[in-house]
Amino acid sequence: MTKVKPHFFNWISYRIGDVGFRLLIGVLRPMNFCLLARPLYFWSNQQSFFMKKLAICSVFLSFFLCYLEWGQGSEQSGFLFQAAYTIFFESKNVVDNFTHPIILLPFVGILLLLSQAFRKEPSKRWTIIGLALPGLLVLFLLFIGMMSKNVKIALSTLPFLLSVWWLLRLFRQKV
């Protein structure tokens, strides 16, 4: 018959033995002391940076989920990630494609967002510039969707706009 031990540490010592338990506690106690000794603002800053990076990545991913339709009767349609793949990998003149502002500006903005996602501390100025450039295209798509009464185009811009709102809200918070 086994004894039921109510406390978690008692359960661990029962499972791994007394020697293993003493080794485990010997490793954990100094770590707990170090974690508790650090100031609280250090942890809130780290969490804030992580949340900003997560929000930047969600803006990046949601940008490519915007939906496009062109032609008569929605003959041709696709998401932005499909259009980007076609522009970058399947076209003959990639350089000629970059000269158009509808392609160049969002591409530069996405590169700025990616650079901010991989920095130690994302810069507010460069992140906002990186949001504005693809944001122009997304707002243009929202305008097109509302004017043509195409619900699919208009609703496909919402994830991007909500991600931008979340990121701007994180930058406004005082840490």
Domain residue extents for the chain:
1-37, 43-172
Tokens 């693809």 -> residue: 134
Q: What is the pLDDT of residues 35-77, one digit of tens each?
A: 444 444 444 456 677 888 899 999 999 999 999 888 776 678 8
* C-alpha distance across the termini of the chain, in Å: 54
Tokens 């392609």 -> residue: 103
- Is the pLDDT confidence value at 150 over 70? yes
List of residues 6+ apart from 27 with CB closer than 8 A = none
SS3 percent helix, strand, coil of the chain, rounded to 5, is 75, 5, 20
Q: Is the pTM of this model over 0.75?
A: no
Q: Residue 76: what pLDDT?
A: 82
pLDDT band at 10 (very low <50, low <70, confident <90, very high): low
- Is the pLDDT confidence value at 83 over 80? yes
Taking residues 139-157, report their average pLDDT. 92
Burial 73-103 (b: 16+ CB within 10 A, else e): eeeeeeebeeebeeeeeeeeeeeeeeeeeeb
- Is the pLDDT confidence value at 94 over 80? no
Tokens 């338990």 -> residue: 21
- Is the pLDDT confidence value at 98 over 80? no
